[in-house]
Amino acid sequence: MLTSSNTTATRAAPSPVDDYARIEEAIAFLRARRGDQPGLQELADHLRLSATHTQRLFSRWAGISPKRFVQYLTVEHAKRRMAETGDLLSLAHDSGLSGPGRLHDLFVNLEAMSPGEYRRAAQDVAVAYGVAPTPFGMALVAYTSRGICHLSFRGVEPDTPLRAQLTASWPAAALSRDDAAAAELLAQVFGQCAPPPGGLSLWVSGTNFQVQVWRALLRVPRGGLLSYRQLAHLVGQPRAARAVGTAMARNPIACLIPCHRVLRESGEFGTYHWGSERKMALCAWEAAARDAAAGTAPSAEEIAAG
């Protein structure tokens, strides 16, 4: 039952994690009812909110209306963005540039080790880590003096502790926990505060092909989408779409190495290590941010109108 306005006024503001849980629930509902195209009131009823509070939820979380959010999740939008991104990257390649203009993107530096170097370095490396809320739920970020080495969410196995994912990758490292420092770092990752002047550094280990795929992903701009085939072309291996998918599955750093921006050729979002709903949420959130940066985001009046 809806509470009175006085009670609502004294209630604490929803946390980012609470908002994301509702967004994920909304995506799951919209996926299940895709053929019906449920309206705002049906979505609000499913979320156990009023239509007004549902509007506020999406506006608070992504700056858009539920209607615009649903548009970002359509196959038609995905196909259009894949075509646009492919053309943009092809133009950058033909011009001899490393990637398209990234004025509104977070600058990321990637340093890679071979598996042999990793085994030697991991013997006595100090890894600090922490868990903190983000716009996409609780996340764990880990870092060394050379850069971020791990970023993960609770995925398809939500009962697996986040630290277990880290220790599987760094079994011999000396781990120390600092949630406050992690919260500050994650705020930089998700644009809630300014990153360092030189951008964020990543420190990863992978085969030459895996690193090649990860570097190619860094060229895909925020709000951009690619198919597996397009990504294979981007790394110079046009027949290696399946191998590209395998390399993406080995990605140790969610979001910053943006494997969520790669979709099926059909425009379907497909699977994601940290959950299909999270992949869709990431893509819609980034599409909204891209449109806001380009000046094409809806006005407050348009959001209120749905």
> pLDDT (tens digit, 9 = 90+) per residue, 18-42?
999 999 999 999 999 988 889 999 9
Half-sphere exposure of 245 (CA within 13 A, CB side): 12
Q: Using an 8 Å Cβ cutoff, are 184 and 238 in contact?
A: no
| pLDDT over 80 at 76, yes or no | yes
Find the DSSP H helices in 40-132. 40-47, 51-62, 66-72, 75-94, 115-121
Q: Which helix (H) or strand (E) holds 112?
A: strand 108-113
Q: What is residue 135's predicted lDDT score, i.e. its pLDDT?
A: 96
- List pLDDT tens digits, range 187-246: 999 988 888 888 899 999 899 999 999 999 999 999 999 999 999 999 999 999 999 999
Domain ranges of the chain: 13-73+291-305, 76-274
Q: What is the mean pLDDT of the chain?
A: 86
| pLDDT over 50 at 283, yes or no | yes
Distance of alpha carbon 219 from alpha carbon 199, whole angstroms: 15
Q: Which residues are catalytic?
A: 259
pLDDT band at residue 301 using 50, 70 and 90 as cut-offs: low
Q: Using an 8 Å Cβ cutoff, are 188 and 293 in contact?
A: no
The answer to whether the pTM exceeds 0.85 is yes
- List pLDDT tens digits, range 122-162: 777 899 999 999 999 999 999 999 999 999 997 555 556 78
Topology annotation, domain 76-274: Arc Repressor Mutant, subunit A (1.10.10)
Residue position matching structure tokens 């858009």: 64
Average pLDDT over residues 94-121: 66
Q: What is residue 158's predicted lDDT score, i.e. its pLDDT?
A: 53
Q: What is residue 184's predicted lDDT score, i.e. its pLDDT?
A: 97
| pLDDT over 90 at 272, yes or no | yes
